[in-house]
Protein backbone atom coordinates (compact mmCIF):
# COMPACT_ATOMS: atom_id res chain seq x y z
CA UNK A 1 0.00 0.00 0.00
CA UNK A 2 1.35 3.44 -0.89
CA UNK A 3 1.81 6.04 1.83
CA UNK A 4 1.10 8.72 -0.76
CA UNK A 5 -2.32 10.20 -0.17
CA UNK A 6 -4.20 12.97 -1.95
CA UNK A 7 -5.58 15.65 0.38
CA UNK A 8 -9.28 14.80 0.34
CA UNK A 9 -11.78 17.15 1.96
CA UNK A 10 -14.44 15.42 4.01
CA UNK A 11 -18.13 16.34 3.65
CA UNK A 12 -18.85 20.01 4.42
CA UNK A 13 -15.14 20.78 4.44
CA UNK A 14 -13.38 22.98 1.91
CA UNK A 15 -10.40 21.62 -0.02
CA UNK A 16 -7.04 21.96 1.78
CA UNK A 17 -5.26 25.28 1.45
CA UNK A 18 -1.58 25.85 0.67
CA UNK A 19 0.24 29.17 0.84
CA UNK A 20 2.94 29.28 -1.85
CA UNK A 21 5.30 32.24 -1.45
CA UNK A 22 6.75 33.85 -4.55
CA UNK A 23 4.07 32.18 -6.68
CA UNK A 24 3.60 34.96 -9.24
CA UNK A 25 6.37 33.61 -11.46
CA UNK A 26 8.87 30.88 -12.17
CA UNK A 27 9.17 27.92 -9.77
CA UNK A 28 6.59 29.20 -7.28
CA UNK A 29 4.05 29.52 -10.07
CA UNK A 30 4.80 26.00 -11.35
CA UNK A 31 4.37 24.64 -7.81
CA UNK A 32 1.05 26.49 -7.43
CA UNK A 33 -0.21 25.08 -10.74
CA UNK A 34 0.76 21.51 -9.85
CA UNK A 35 -0.88 21.71 -6.43
CA UNK A 36 -4.08 23.26 -7.80
CA UNK A 37 -4.33 20.47 -10.38
CA UNK A 38 -4.21 17.96 -7.51
CA UNK A 39 -6.95 19.40 -5.35
CA UNK A 40 -5.30 22.14 -3.32
CA UNK A 41 -6.66 25.66 -2.97
CA UNK A 42 -3.75 28.03 -3.41
CA UNK A 43 -2.95 31.28 -1.62
CA UNK A 44 -0.68 32.87 -4.23
CA UNK A 45 1.80 35.13 -2.46
CA UNK A 46 3.69 37.90 -4.28
CA UNK A 47 5.71 40.96 -3.30
CA UNK A 48 5.90 43.25 -6.35
CA UNK A 49 4.68 41.10 -9.27
CA UNK A 50 0.94 41.75 -8.87
CA UNK A 51 0.03 41.37 -12.56
CA UNK A 52 1.93 38.06 -12.75
CA UNK A 53 0.18 36.91 -9.56
CA UNK A 54 -3.20 37.70 -11.12
CA UNK A 55 -2.18 35.80 -14.27
CA UNK A 56 -1.23 32.84 -12.07
CA UNK A 57 -4.69 32.92 -10.47
CA UNK A 58 -6.34 32.98 -13.92
CA UNK A 59 -4.20 30.00 -14.92
CA UNK A 60 -5.01 28.11 -11.73
CA UNK A 61 -8.73 28.67 -12.30
CA UNK A 62 -8.61 27.05 -15.74
CA UNK A 63 -6.42 24.17 -14.50
CA UNK A 64 -8.39 23.32 -11.38
CA UNK A 65 -10.45 20.12 -11.62
CA UNK A 66 -12.89 20.90 -8.80
CA UNK A 67 -15.02 23.99 -9.36
CA UNK A 68 -15.32 24.31 -5.57
CA UNK A 69 -11.60 25.10 -5.32
CA UNK A 70 -10.84 28.81 -4.97
CA UNK A 71 -7.51 30.62 -5.19
CA UNK A 72 -6.52 34.10 -4.10
CA UNK A 73 -3.54 36.50 -4.18
CA UNK A 74 -1.81 37.93 -1.10
CA UNK A 75 0.82 40.68 -1.14
CA UNK A 76 3.64 40.77 1.42
CA UNK A 77 7.26 41.89 1.64
CA UNK A 78 8.78 38.96 3.54
CA UNK A 79 11.70 41.14 4.67
CA UNK A 80 9.16 43.07 6.78
CA UNK A 81 8.57 41.12 10.00
CA UNK A 82 5.23 42.73 10.89
CA UNK A 83 3.87 42.18 7.38
CA UNK A 84 5.09 38.56 7.41
CA UNK A 85 3.41 37.93 10.78
CA UNK A 86 0.14 39.23 9.29
CA UNK A 87 0.28 36.97 6.20
CA UNK A 88 -0.97 33.65 7.63
CA UNK A 89 -3.83 35.31 9.57
CA UNK A 90 -5.00 37.01 6.37
CA UNK A 91 -4.91 33.69 4.46
CA UNK A 92 -6.89 32.00 7.25
CA UNK A 93 -9.36 34.88 7.32
CA UNK A 94 -9.94 34.45 3.59
CA UNK A 95 -10.08 30.65 3.32
CA UNK A 96 -11.07 29.67 6.87
CA UNK A 97 -8.13 27.28 7.10
CA UNK A 98 -4.47 26.73 6.16
CA UNK A 99 -2.88 23.29 5.78
CA UNK A 100 0.50 23.89 4.19
CA UNK A 101 3.14 26.48 3.42
CA UNK A 102 5.67 26.29 0.59
CA UNK A 103 8.51 28.74 1.22
CA UNK A 104 9.62 29.37 -2.36
CA UNK A 105 10.14 33.16 -2.47
CA UNK A 106 13.78 34.11 -2.11
CA UNK A 107 16.10 37.06 -2.46
CA UNK A 108 18.97 36.04 -4.77
CA UNK A 109 21.44 38.89 -5.06
CA UNK A 110 25.13 38.58 -5.81
CA UNK A 111 27.74 39.17 -3.16
CA UNK A 112 31.08 37.60 -2.36
CA UNK A 113 33.51 37.42 0.55
CA UNK A 114 34.91 40.73 -0.75
CA UNK A 115 31.61 42.60 -1.05
CA UNK A 116 29.89 40.95 1.95
CA UNK A 117 28.07 43.39 4.25
CA UNK A 118 25.69 43.17 7.19
CA UNK A 119 23.09 44.77 4.97
CA UNK A 120 23.32 42.01 2.32
CA UNK A 121 23.30 39.32 5.01
CA UNK A 122 20.29 40.81 6.82
CA UNK A 123 18.32 41.21 3.60
CA UNK A 124 18.80 37.54 2.63
CA UNK A 125 18.37 36.21 6.16
CA UNK A 126 15.10 38.12 6.69
CA UNK A 127 13.34 37.11 3.49
CA UNK A 128 14.89 33.65 2.93
CA UNK A 129 15.25 32.34 6.50
CA UNK A 130 13.34 34.44 9.02
CA UNK A 131 10.14 34.59 6.97
CA UNK A 132 10.11 30.82 6.39
CA UNK A 133 10.40 30.27 10.16
CA UNK A 134 7.66 32.78 11.00
CA UNK A 135 5.29 31.19 8.48
CA UNK A 136 5.98 27.71 9.91
CA UNK A 137 5.38 29.03 13.43
CA UNK A 138 2.08 30.62 12.36
CA UNK A 139 0.92 27.42 10.63
CA UNK A 140 1.69 25.44 13.78
CA UNK A 141 -0.33 27.86 15.92
CA UNK A 142 -3.27 27.53 13.53
CA UNK A 143 -3.15 23.71 13.55
CA UNK A 144 -2.99 23.75 17.36
CA UNK A 145 -6.03 26.02 17.40
CA UNK A 146 -7.94 23.65 15.11
CA UNK A 147 -7.06 20.73 17.38
CA UNK A 148 -8.30 22.67 20.42
CA UNK A 149 -11.52 23.33 18.52
CA UNK A 150 -12.08 19.59 18.14
CA UNK A 151 -10.49 18.90 14.75
CA UNK A 152 -8.23 16.12 16.00
CA UNK A 153 -7.24 15.16 12.43
CA UNK A 154 -5.79 18.60 11.67
CA UNK A 155 -2.17 18.40 10.51
CA UNK A 156 0.11 20.83 8.72
CA UNK A 157 3.19 20.66 6.50
CA UNK A 158 5.89 23.11 5.46
CA UNK A 159 8.16 22.75 2.44
CA UNK A 160 11.31 24.87 2.43
CA UNK A 161 12.93 25.41 -0.96
CA UNK A 162 16.68 24.92 -0.56
CA UNK A 163 19.43 24.61 -3.18
CA UNK A 164 21.81 21.84 -4.29
CA UNK A 165 24.68 24.30 -3.82
CA UNK A 166 24.49 23.71 -0.04
CA UNK A 167 25.93 20.24 -0.75
CA UNK A 168 28.37 21.58 -3.36
CA UNK A 169 29.51 24.90 -1.99
CA UNK A 170 31.27 27.80 -3.66
CA UNK A 171 31.66 31.36 -2.37
CA UNK A 172 29.46 33.07 -5.01
CA UNK A 173 26.14 34.50 -3.80
CA UNK A 174 27.66 34.38 -0.34
CA UNK A 175 24.76 35.85 1.69
CA UNK A 176 22.12 33.93 -0.29
CA UNK A 177 24.01 30.68 0.41
CA UNK A 178 24.34 31.50 4.12
CA UNK A 179 20.60 32.21 4.31
CA UNK A 180 19.77 28.85 2.68
CA UNK A 181 22.29 27.03 4.93
CA UNK A 182 20.51 28.54 7.93
CA UNK A 183 17.16 27.51 6.47
CA UNK A 184 18.44 23.95 6.06
CA UNK A 185 19.37 23.90 9.77
CA UNK A 186 15.99 25.44 10.63
CA UNK A 187 14.34 22.68 8.56
CA UNK A 188 15.72 20.08 11.00
CA UNK A 189 15.00 22.07 14.16
CA UNK A 190 11.47 23.02 13.08
CA UNK A 191 10.69 19.40 12.22
CA UNK A 192 11.67 18.44 15.77
CA UNK A 193 9.87 21.33 17.45
CA UNK A 194 6.64 21.28 15.46
CA UNK A 195 6.04 17.50 15.42
CA UNK A 196 3.62 15.81 15.57
CA UNK A 197 1.27 18.50 14.25
CA UNK A 198 3.40 19.94 11.47
CA UNK A 199 5.89 18.16 9.19
CA UNK A 200 8.80 20.13 7.72
CA UNK A 201 10.54 19.04 4.51
CA UNK A 202 13.26 20.59 2.37
CA UNK A 203 13.28 20.38 -1.44
CA UNK A 204 16.60 21.32 -3.05
CA UNK A 205 16.59 21.96 -6.81
CA UNK A 206 19.62 22.12 -9.03
CA UNK A 207 19.89 24.68 -11.80
CA UNK A 208 16.27 24.69 -13.01
CA UNK A 209 15.46 28.07 -14.51
CA UNK A 210 17.81 30.57 -16.05
CA UNK A 211 18.73 33.89 -14.47
CA UNK A 212 19.57 37.29 -15.93
CA UNK A 213 23.24 36.36 -15.51
CA UNK A 214 23.13 33.63 -18.21
CA UNK A 215 22.32 33.67 -21.90
CA UNK A 216 19.91 30.99 -23.11
CA UNK A 217 22.81 29.06 -24.71
CA UNK A 218 24.87 29.24 -21.49
CA UNK A 219 21.89 28.06 -19.45
CA UNK A 220 21.33 25.09 -21.80
CA UNK A 221 24.99 24.09 -21.47
CA UNK A 222 24.99 24.46 -17.65
CA UNK A 223 21.76 22.50 -17.34
CA UNK A 224 23.51 19.52 -18.93
CA UNK A 225 26.30 19.60 -16.31
CA UNK A 226 25.13 16.77 -14.10
CA UNK A 227 25.66 13.03 -13.74
CA UNK A 228 22.26 12.45 -15.39
CA UNK A 229 23.03 14.82 -18.26
CA UNK A 230 20.31 17.22 -17.22
CA UNK A 231 19.53 19.12 -14.06
CA UNK A 232 16.03 19.47 -12.61
CA UNK A 233 12.98 20.51 -14.60
CA UNK A 234 10.41 22.85 -13.06
CA UNK A 235 7.83 20.06 -13.38
CA UNK A 236 9.98 17.59 -11.44
CA UNK A 237 10.61 20.16 -8.70
CA UNK A 238 6.88 20.93 -8.42
CA UNK A 239 5.96 17.24 -8.32
CA UNK A 240 8.52 16.70 -5.55
CA UNK A 241 6.97 19.52 -3.54
CA UNK A 242 3.60 17.84 -3.97
CA UNK A 243 5.08 14.50 -2.87
CA UNK A 244 6.57 16.17 0.23
CA UNK A 245 3.24 17.80 1.07
CA UNK A 246 1.18 14.65 0.67
CA UNK A 247 3.47 11.91 1.99
CA UNK A 248 2.57 11.65 5.66
CA UNK A 249 5.80 9.88 6.70
CA UNK A 250 8.43 12.48 5.79
CA UNK A 251 9.78 15.16 8.09
CA UNK A 252 13.12 16.75 8.98
CA UNK A 253 14.88 15.85 5.77
CA UNK A 254 15.60 17.28 2.33
CA UNK A 255 14.98 15.81 -1.10
CA UNK A 256 17.57 16.87 -3.67
CA UNK A 257 16.04 17.19 -7.16
CA UNK A 258 19.02 18.18 -9.27
CA UNK A 259 20.01 15.43 -11.69
CA UNK A 260 22.83 14.70 -9.22
CA UNK A 261 24.54 18.11 -9.52
CA UNK A 262 25.34 18.00 -5.79
CA UNK A 263 27.62 15.03 -6.53
CA UNK A 264 29.82 17.19 -8.76
CA UNK A 265 32.28 19.93 -7.87
CA UNK A 266 31.73 23.46 -9.21
CA UNK A 267 34.17 26.22 -8.22
CA UNK A 268 31.71 28.99 -9.14
CA UNK A 269 27.96 29.47 -9.11
CA UNK A 270 26.38 28.50 -12.45
CA UNK A 271 25.56 32.17 -13.08
CA UNK A 272 29.25 33.02 -12.93
CA UNK A 273 30.56 30.09 -15.01
CA UNK A 274 31.27 29.86 -18.68
CA UNK A 275 30.06 26.54 -20.15
CA UNK A 276 33.54 24.92 -20.28
CA UNK A 277 34.52 26.05 -16.73
CA UNK A 278 33.85 23.01 -14.61
CA UNK A 279 35.80 20.30 -12.89
N1 LIG B 1 15.46 28.69 -10.21
C2 LIG B 1 16.39 27.78 -9.93
O3 LIG B 1 17.04 27.26 -10.84
C4 LIG B 1 16.64 27.39 -8.48
C5 LIG B 1 17.73 26.58 -8.18
C6 LIG B 1 17.96 26.21 -6.86
C7 LIG B 1 17.11 26.64 -5.86
N8 LIG B 1 16.05 27.43 -6.18
C9 LIG B 1 15.17 27.90 -5.09
O10 LIG B 1 13.82 27.70 -5.48
C11 LIG B 1 13.01 28.81 -5.08
C12 LIG B 1 12.29 29.41 -6.27
O13 LIG B 1 13.26 29.79 -7.25
P14 LIG B 1 12.92 30.92 -8.37
O15 LIG B 1 14.05 30.94 -9.30
O16 LIG B 1 11.54 30.70 -8.86
O17 LIG B 1 12.97 32.23 -7.43
P18 LIG B 1 13.11 33.76 -7.92
O19 LIG B 1 12.51 33.92 -9.27
O20 LIG B 1 14.53 34.20 -7.72
O21 LIG B 1 12.23 34.50 -6.81
C22 LIG B 1 10.86 34.13 -6.63
C23 LIG B 1 10.12 35.28 -6.04
O24 LIG B 1 10.62 35.62 -4.74
C25 LIG B 1 9.99 36.82 -4.42
N26 LIG B 1 10.74 37.56 -3.39
C27 LIG B 1 12.05 37.89 -3.36
N28 LIG B 1 12.30 38.64 -2.26
C29 LIG B 1 11.13 38.76 -1.59
C30 LIG B 1 10.72 39.42 -0.39
N31 LIG B 1 11.57 40.14 0.35
N32 LIG B 1 9.42 39.32 -0.03
C33 LIG B 1 8.55 38.63 -0.78
N34 LIG B 1 8.86 38.01 -1.91
C35 LIG B 1 10.13 38.07 -2.31
C36 LIG B 1 9.83 37.63 -5.71
O37 LIG B 1 8.46 38.02 -5.77
P38 LIG B 1 7.97 39.32 -6.61
O39 LIG B 1 8.38 39.07 -8.04
O40 LIG B 1 6.49 39.32 -6.42
O41 LIG B 1 8.64 40.51 -6.00
C42 LIG B 1 10.20 36.60 -6.79
O43 LIG B 1 9.33 36.59 -7.90
C44 LIG B 1 13.94 29.77 -4.36
O45 LIG B 1 13.83 29.59 -2.97
C46 LIG B 1 15.33 29.39 -4.85
O47 LIG B 1 16.33 29.65 -3.89
C48 LIG B 1 15.80 27.81 -7.46
Q: Report the CATH number that the domain containing residue 171 is assigned in CATH.
A: 3.40.50.720
Ligand 1 lined by 209 (C-beta under 6 Å): yes
Given a contact cutoff of 8 angstroms between Cβ atoms, the answer to whether 102 and 20 are in contact is: yes
Does some domain include residue 78?
yes
Ligand 1 lined by 167 (C-beta under 6 Å): no
The arithmetic mean of pLDDT across residues 103-107, rounded, is 98
Ligand 1 lined by 271 (C-beta under 6 Å): no
Band (12; pLDDT cuts 50, 70, 90): very low
Determine the pLDDT at residue 171: 96
* Residue 40, CA atoms < 13 Å, CB-side half-sphere: 27
Ligand 1 lined by 256 (C-beta under 6 Å): no
Band (181; pLDDT cuts 50, 70, 90): very high
Q: Is the pLDDT of residue 75 over 80?
A: yes
Determine the pLDDT at residue 213: 82
Determine the pLDDT at residue 64: 85
pLDDT (tens digit, 9 = 90+) per residue, 188-214?
999 999 999 999 999 999 999 998 888
Beta strands in the chain (DSSP E): 17-20, 41-46, 72-75, 100-103, 156-161, 198-205, 253-257
Q: Tell me how crowded residue 196 is: count the other CB atoms within 10 A of its CB.
A: 7
In what side-by-side order are the strands of the sheet with 198-205? 72-75, 41-46, 17-20, 100-103, 156-161, 198-205, 253-257
Determine the pLDDT at residue 7: 52
Does some domain include residue 223?
no
The arithmetic mean of pLDDT across residues 68-89, rounded, is 96
Instruction: Tell me the pLDDT of the chain averaged across its residues.
Output: 93
Does some domain include residue 123?
yes
Given a contact cutoff of 8 angstroms between Cβ atoms, the answer to whether 163 and 211 are in contact is: no
User: Which atom, in ligand 1's list, is nearest to the CA of 53?
Assistant: 40
Does some domain include residue 66?
yes
* Residue 253, CA atoms < 13 Å, CB-side half-sphere: 7
pLDDT (tens digit, 9 = 90+) per residue, 14-69?
899 999 999 999 999 999 999 999 999 999 999 999 999 999 999 999 988 876 88
Q: Is the pLDDT of residue 277 over 80?
A: no
- Domain limits at 195? 17-208+232-259
CA distance 187 to 160: 7
Helices and strands of the chain, counted as H and E runs? 8, 7
Determine the pLDDT at residue 53: 98
Determine the pLDDT at residue 72: 97
Q: Is the pLDDT of residue 1 over 90?
A: no
pLDDT (tens digit, 9 = 90+) per residue, 124-175?
999 999 999 999 999 999 999 999 999 999 999 999 999 999 999 999 999 9
CA distance 119 to 149: 43
Does some domain include residue 81?
yes
Q: Is the pLDDT of residue 95 over 80?
A: yes
Determine the pLDDT at residue 239: 98
Q: Is the pLDDT of residue 4 over 90?
A: no
Distance of alpha carbon 196 from the chain centroid: 21
Pocket test for ligand 1, best of 21, 23, 24, 27 (most atoms within 8 A of CB): 27
Pocket test for ligand 1, best of 21, 22, 262 (most atoms within 8 A of CB): 22
- Looking at the whole model, is its pTM more than 0.85? yes
Ligand 1 lined by 27 (C-beta under 6 Å): yes
Distance of alpha carbon 24 from the chain centroid: 13
Phi, psi of 257 (to 5 degrees): -125, 85
Does some domain include residue 150?
yes
Ligand 1 lined by 80 (C-beta under 6 Å): no
Does some domain include residue 135?
yes
Ligand 1 lined by 213 (C-beta under 6 Å): no
Q: Is the pLDDT of residue 225 over 80?
A: yes
Q: Tell me how crowded residue 142 is: count the other CB atoms within 10 A of its CB.
A: 21
| Three-state DSSP state, 160 | strand
Contacts for 55-64: CB closer than 8 Å, 24+ residues apart: 55/24, 56/23, 56/24, 56/25, 56/29, 56/32, 59/29, 59/33, 60/32, 60/33, 60/36, 63/33, 63/36, 63/37, 64/36, 64/37
CA distance 118 to 175: 9
CA distance 155 to 40: 15
Total count of domains within the chain: 1
Determine the pLDDT at residue 279: 41
Residues whose CB is less than 8 angstroms from the CB of residue 230 and which lie 6 or more positions away in sequence, other chains included: 223, 224, 259
Does some domain include residue 112?
yes
Amino acid sequence: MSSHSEPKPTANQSAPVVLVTGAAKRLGREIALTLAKHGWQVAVHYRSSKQDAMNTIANLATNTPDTGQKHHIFQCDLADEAATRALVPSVIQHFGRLDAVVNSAAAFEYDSTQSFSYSALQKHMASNTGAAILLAQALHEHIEQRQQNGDSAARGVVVNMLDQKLWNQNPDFFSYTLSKAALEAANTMLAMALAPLVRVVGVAPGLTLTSTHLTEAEFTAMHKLSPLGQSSTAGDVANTVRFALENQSITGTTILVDGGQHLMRFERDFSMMKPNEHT
